[in-house]
Chains A and B, each alone.
Chain A
Amino acid sequence: MTAIDIQKLDVSYGDTKVTRDIGFAVAEGESFALVGESGSGKTTVLKAIAGLARTWTGSISVFGKPRSHGIDRDFARQCQMVFQDPYGSLHPRKTVDAVLSEPLAIHGVGGDHGKRVEAMLDAVGLDRKFRFRFPHQLSGGQRQRVAIARALMLEPKLLLLDEPTSALDVSVQAEILNLLKRLRKEQGLTYLMVTHNLPVVSFLCDRLAVMRHGRVVEIADVDQLKRGALTNPYSRELIELSATPSQT
């Protein structure tokens, strides 16, 4: 089953076309990366799938169902998003407990919310003592874990990840990447991740699409990336700029 199928997608902000003729497919259970620099339009594609960017033409279908241009309540149970900035993606006045129980309340999920919140805290590696803290009492890595936990509360099958670790320190990034990898394996999730960091793609993803100036310039397997065997000259340039002395 195809998790995401995108064809001829043109997304606009106001009058400006931000992406042109985007097309790619993500299989269920796959981890797919959209790679590019700022201005490439990669985050815009994510937003269009989620329903946060409403002006687009083309077709987007998720798990076989075509997407509407806005936010769908039912869609929320299939697909959730993890944002880049751990400092901006949590409501400053809500405790972790409130943040995590809200999706359950919105969808009228029955059962003991408290237990589910605690189970989720365990799953993302957060000690239960953090349950009633406010965001400013948490570190960046802890906040991002809460954001991931929040995304998983509704048990979606697809996670959209917008540069989930680029605002984190290196040591914390490693922990979060490990967490994401583990969760995917445990829950059979599909990932669509946006990033500019190629080594992260090598660690976490199966396939990737390279975007530049709003277009997809190449789609490849991560194996090819690891061998430095991408064909498009821009892709090769990105690889060169990422390679560092410690990596040969």
Chain B
Amino acid sequence: MTNLLEVRNLRVTFPSARGPVEVVKGISFSLGRERLGIVGESGSGKSMTGRSILKLIRSPGKVTADRLDFDGLDLLRQNDKQMRAIRGARISMIMQDPKFSLNPVMTIGAQIAEALLTHQRLGRGDIRQRVHAMLESVRIADPARVAKLYPHEVSGGMGQRVMIAMMLIPEPDLLIADEPTSALDVSVQAQVLDIIDDLVKRKGMGLIFISHDLNLVSSYCDRILVMYAGTVVEECVASELQHAKHPYTQGLLAAIPRLNEDRAELPVLDRSGWAA
């Protein structure tokens, strides 16, 4: 079985006043139809990794890799037009804050319709039906009312569900979720994750879940990659996270306060152990 995604030696470089800076330093991983979590703090390169798969990194940033294969397609060789056909249709991305990723001057229904029409031709009545069906699939009751609202008129959780609906219309094979629940309240997070989980399972999609929340990723994904300063420092099965071997992962796990916290001081990361 060919893997859905094969990444070998991915490097992302940005120029800066002090010379080129590598934000992703030659990472490699593969993804089947499973849920992979990429965890890291800010500056770890996790978001850049997600974006480079979709070739969303524009110059002056440079992306190089030995292999970047998606379902047999060499993504490195695809030109702009071919990438446009892949983005959305075969690989989709959900971003962090629906406030910023939804167009504020279009109604929700109009935006979903636009997403629909990008990939299919449909008649008017058909569009409205599909839009309502999409909203229902992300558990929005009363889709007719919501379709007429603007993004700022709905809550964060609902905005994010609309985003998911839009991104999943063309039924992609791979979904990249970049901190999809970080801007949401705890109670809403669970709901949104449930919806993503449901859709991923039903359609047999691959999922890359990018987050800074170690615990969240370990409970939600099948496998985890821990990134630090552009490299993968740990790769493990999610259920084995407690037995992580790399000092950075162990340090992160120890530094997170617990509900039944009884330590006088939280252990602080000593980066001298592995810092480049």
- Known: A38-B185, A238-B186. Is A247-B260 also a contact (CB below 8 A)? yes
Q: How large is the interface on B (under 10, 10 to 19, 20 to 34, 35 or more residues)?
A: 20 to 34
Q: Which residues in B have their C-beta under 8 angstroms from that of A243?
A: 259
- Known: A243-B259, A247-B260. Is A170-B268 also a contact (CB below 8 A)? no
Partner of B259, one of A140, A169, A242: A242
Q: Which residues in B have their C-beta under 8 angstroms from that of A181?
A: 264-265
Interface mask (A233-248 → B, CB under 8 Å = 1, otherwise 0): 0000111011111110
Q: Which residues in B have their C-beta under 8 angstroms from that of A173?
A: 255
Q: Quick check: A202 and B259 within 8 Å, CB to CB?
A: yes
Q: Which of A162-190 contact B (CB under 8 A)?
A: 169-175, 177-178, 181
- Known: A169-B41, A170-B252, A246-B242. Is A37-B261 also a contact (CB below 8 A)? no
Q: Is A199 interfacial (CB-CB < 8 Å)?
A: yes
Q: Is B272 interfacial (CB-CB < 8 Å)?
A: no
Residue of B with least CB distance to A199: B257
Min CB gap A194→B, angstroms: 14
Q: Quick check: B257 and A169 within 8 Å, CB to CB?
A: no
Q: Is A198 interfacial (CB-CB < 8 Å)?
A: yes
Q: Which of B227-262 contact A (CB under 8 A)?
A: 241-242, 251-253, 255-262
- Known: A181-B265, A245-B218. Is A170-B256 also a contact (CB below 8 A)? yes
Q: Is B104 interfacial (CB-CB < 8 Å)?
A: no
Q: Which residues in B have their C-beta under 8 angstroms from that of A170?
A: 41, 212, 214, 252, 255-256
Q: Interface stretch among A21-29, A56-64, A147-155, A221-229?
A: A221-229
Q: Which of B106-136 contact A (CB under 8 A)?
A: none
Interface mask (A84-106 → B, CB under 8 Å = 1, otherwise 0): 00000000000000000000000
Q: Is B266 interfacial (CB-CB < 8 Å)?
A: yes
User: Number of A residues contacting the other chain (C-beta, 8 Å)?
Assistant: 34
Q: Which of A18-40 contact B (CB under 8 A)?
A: 37-38
Q: Is B204 interfacial (CB-CB < 8 Å)?
A: no
Q: What's the Cα separation between A173 and B212 when bound, in Å?
A: 12
Q: Is A203 interfacial (CB-CB < 8 Å)?
A: yes
Q: Is B149 interfacial (CB-CB < 8 Å)?
A: no
Interface mask (A188-225 → B, CB under 8 Å = 1, otherwise 0): 00000000111110110000000000000000000001
Which of the listed residues A181, A196, A246 has the most CB atoms from chain B within 10 Å of its own CB?
Answer: A246
Q: What's the Cα separation between A66 and B34 when bound, in Å?
A: 59
Q: Quick check: B265 and A199 within 8 Å, CB to CB?
A: no
Q: Which residues in B have their C-beta under 8 angstroms from that of A246?
A: 215, 218, 241-242, 253, 256, 258
Q: Is B216 interfacial (CB-CB < 8 Å)?
A: yes
* Residues of A contacting B: mostly: helix
Q: What's the Cα separation between A37 and B267 when bound, in Å?
A: 27
Q: Quick check: B242 and A177 within 8 Å, CB to CB?
A: no
Min CB gap B113→A, angstroms: 30
Q: Which residues in A have their C-beta under 8 angstroms from that of B261?
A: 199, 202-203, 226
Q: What's the Cα separation between A246 and B41 when bound, in Å?
A: 19
Q: Quick check: B262 and A226 within 8 Å, CB to CB?
A: yes
Q: Which residues in B have their C-beta under 8 angstroms from that of A198?
A: 259
Q: What's the Cα separation between A123 and B156 when bound, in Å?
A: 39
Q: What's the Cα separation between A196 and B187 when bound, in Å?
A: 11
Q: What's the Cα separation between A37 and B187 when bound, in Å?
A: 8
Q: Which residues in A have their C-beta under 8 angstroms from that of B252?
A: 170-171
- Known: A244-B219, A245-B218. Is A177-B187 also a contact (CB below 8 A)? no
Q: What's the Cα separation between A197 and B215 when bound, in Å?
A: 13
Q: Quick check: A245 and B215 within 8 Å, CB to CB?
A: yes
Interface mask (B191-221 → A, CB under 8 Å = 1, otherwise 0): 0000000000000000000001011101100
Q: Which residues in A have their C-beta under 8 angstroms from that of B189?
A: 241
Q: What's the Cα separation between A227 and B214 when bound, in Å?
A: 23
Q: Quick check: B266 and A199 within 8 Å, CB to CB?
A: no
Give the 6 A-B residue pairs with the shortest CB-CB distance, closest first: A244-B215, A199-B257, A174-B255, A202-B261, A169-B41, A174-B266
- Cβ contacts A to B, 26 pairs, < 8 Å: A37-B185, A37-B186, A169-B41, A170-B256, A171-B251, A171-B252, A171-B268, A172-B41, A174-B257, A178-B268, A181-B265, A199-B256, A199-B259, A202-B257, A226-B261, A226-B262, A227-B260, A238-B186, A241-B186, A241-B187, A242-B259, A243-B259, A245-B242, A246-B218, A246-B241, A247-B258
6 new A-B contacts at CB < 8 Å, known A199-B261, A202-B261: A171-B41, A181-B264, A199-B256, A202-B258, A228-B260, A246-B218
